[in-house]
Structure 1
Amino acid sequence: MSAVVEEVVQPCPQCGAEIRGDNRFTPWCAGCDWNVDPTGPAQKPGRLERARRAFARRACLLIGEPEPGAVTSDDDRARSIATELTEARQKVARQILRDGVPD
């Protein structure tokens, strides 16, 4: 089953540039970004949504494997530095979970 594709050519209502497109998709102007988001900007998240996102960000700090270090070495000094960095990361994550994110 093949769809009939019809090219649509129209002037941009904002800047007048020629807009070429497909009748299956929403037209938009590459010159001035007219109609890039035809639904409009998203609403600001409410209090509950902000709290949910903040919790998700905090939880991500404690979940998963620690990030690998930039310098890898087998000597004891590198291991102790990696351990200290991991402990510091976990301490900060616990503090954020306990006190929240400062504004």
Structure 2
Amino acid sequence: MGYGVVRPTLGGLTSKVIMVGLTFFLASKALELVENVGTVNDVSGKARLFLVLPVAFLDAFFILWIFTSLNSTLNKLQVKRMTVKLDIYRKLLMRWQLL
């Protein structure tokens, strides 16, 4: 999309992205193991809630992060008057809102 808007590295965010991604992976795998291994009655409601909440929180965090970053990119494109790229990103945003 052009170097002026999209950078090839994450800069100082690399370690944070890896940490959050690894946390999500571990939480989702723990939830999946509990749901698929053993009988359904093995896990109480509180234990299941303890495993579901981190996954749900991280899902919401990722969605919020994606749309906040997309909004920031749209603002940068508008300031730099890159209308073609701005239209591409707006179409992308409109597709996501229709889903």
TM range (shorter): 0.3 to 0.5
Work out which of the two has the higher radius of gyration on C-alpha atoms and give 1 or 2: 1
- Could you say which structure has the higher strand fraction? 1
TM-score normalised to structure 1 length: 0.32
TM-score normalised to structure 2 length: 0.33
- Could you say which structure has the higher helix fraction? 2
The structure whose RCO (Cα within 8 Å, separation 6+) is larger is: 2
